[in-house]
A and B are shown apart, each in its own frame.
Chain A
Amino acid sequence: MKSPLSRRNFIKGGLAGTVAATLLKEKKSQAADFEGYPQGMGVLVDLTRCVGCRSCEAACNQEQKLPPPEKPFNDFSVFDEIEHGQKRRTDETRYTVVNRYDIPGQDHPLFRKIQCNHCQEPACLTSCFVNAYTKTPEGAVIYNAKVCVGCRTCMIACPFYIPTFKYSSAFNPRIMKCVFCYDTRLKDGKPPACVEACPQEALTFGRRSELIKIGQQRIRETPGKYEEHIYGEHEVGGTAWMYLSSVPFDKVGFDTHVPKEPILNLVKDFLGIVPMVLTIWPALFAGFHLLATRKDWLKGKTEDEHEEE
């Protein structure tokens, strides 16, 4: 008697599928062990040095040829602006903004610059299904508008709420975000425009590994001045832009609850089973179905044979 799927073949197929799935999974975990490009550049932002002059905002606007601002860049009334209950944030007209934080008990405020942190393992890149994002060996997370379909998944994936959508050109989708001045500066080894403009050297540009040493030196040699933490050294698996602060980071608007591992690690188990589901489940459940209906099928077959007789 010949059945369409023998038990032996069914087990064989199942085993082969499991092996394939295991191999696929191993590949994924290799990608997750990636610790960033060793020669990648970064910026160390020292909040204790920033005086809120907004030179970085002005320089960014000029370098990236963004639309003119609504208020001059030396107008400091913007620090009092609150939109939807939040301080200013990046949008399609500005890749970076500086916000003021009044710290209770301190006689002068702290200023915090925000822009893309250029993660070592960017969640925007992981989430993008058309591969519009690239992490370059120089450390920048850049974006290709030509392949972007405007799904805006990256905006949801980003743990720092940085990519913004150009709603004024919805039919020609364009995500607007800091690109570390990659095209105009970084790829030639030059610092981004904001760093060059900063009078206080609150922004220190250099190889990421060396910036960590500089940050540790500042913390060690001026006891009591800094929080003993470099924000971005480990957050979301490490970021190219890192921060030093004299007050706890949550007091100056940082999300201190982001995971210490890349966002990719949170979804890689799920992503690992996708190929298995797609390749094995159809065969597996087709097999179950055939086994479950075998008796009916055999019965039908013998009835047919009887009728033929």
Chain B
Amino acid sequence: MRTELLTRKKIVHTALALALGGVLLWVGPGRAMDAADAPETVEIDSLAKLYSGVHFDHAMHTDIASCGQCHHHTTGDKVTDPNCIRCHANSGEADIVSCRDCHSRDRFSREDLSRLSNPLLYHIDKPGLKGAYHLNCVGCHEKMGGPTGCEDCHGMTEAGERMFHTGKHAPAPTPAGGRSGH
């Protein structure tokens, strides 16, 4: 019967999909992640609006920094921050290492704020995704002498130029004297 056949087909397909998914998602015990497993480059563009995304040279950065300096305790590196050691001294590698899986992109939304107001939560001050990127990158760049200007990492978009009144949206030059008094 046709319906029966269809059903059988469906079952086979589902089983195949599950098997394939299982292989792809399978995480072996004691897997040790090192820099070689990491991507060469990462396109950081999920928030791009006023500025274009960042073409992040991940390989270059793994040469000058340890994984844990950016990924905290998630890559299996030993943590050194005394505040983190309190709980994460023996934290192994985590299943998720990407920034966006922990740092919320809808920071300060009603949902985000109600999540953070849980009285049992320790991480009440976890930055959102945009804050996490900038605090991590700019903070280190300031210490290491890396570029710190906004457009050193990402160019401004048309929407950005409109908001900042710059580029082709720049204000017309005012006559000498500048700001009028009152």
- A residues with a Cβ closer than 8 A to B are 49, 51, 53-55, 58-59, 61-62, 68-75, 83, 108, 167, 189-191, 195-201, 204-207, 210, 213-214, 217-218, 221
Contact = CB atoms under 8 A, between A and B. Distances in A.
B131 A200 contact: yes
A210 B126 CA distance: 13
Interface string B124-165: 110110110111001000100000101000001000001111
B131 A199 contact: yes
B130 A217 contact: no
Interface size class of B (residues with CB under 8 A): 20 to 34
10 contacts: A51-B138, A55-B164, A72-B170, A72-B171, A196-B108, A197-B50, A200-B134, A201-B128, A201-B134, A218-B125
Contacts of B166: 72-75
A71 B171 contact: yes
Contact of A199 (B124, B125, B130, B165): B130
B165 A206 contact: no
Interface stretch (B26-34, B64-72, B88-96, B110-118): B110-118
A53 B153 CA distance: 14
Contact of A207 (B117, B148, B174): B117
B179 A70 contact: yes
Interface string B169-182: 01100100011001
A200 B179 contact: no
A201 B162 CA distance: 22
A246 to B, nearest CB: 14
Contacts of B7: none
A189 B45 CA distance: 26
A51 B171 contact: no
B131 A167 contact: no
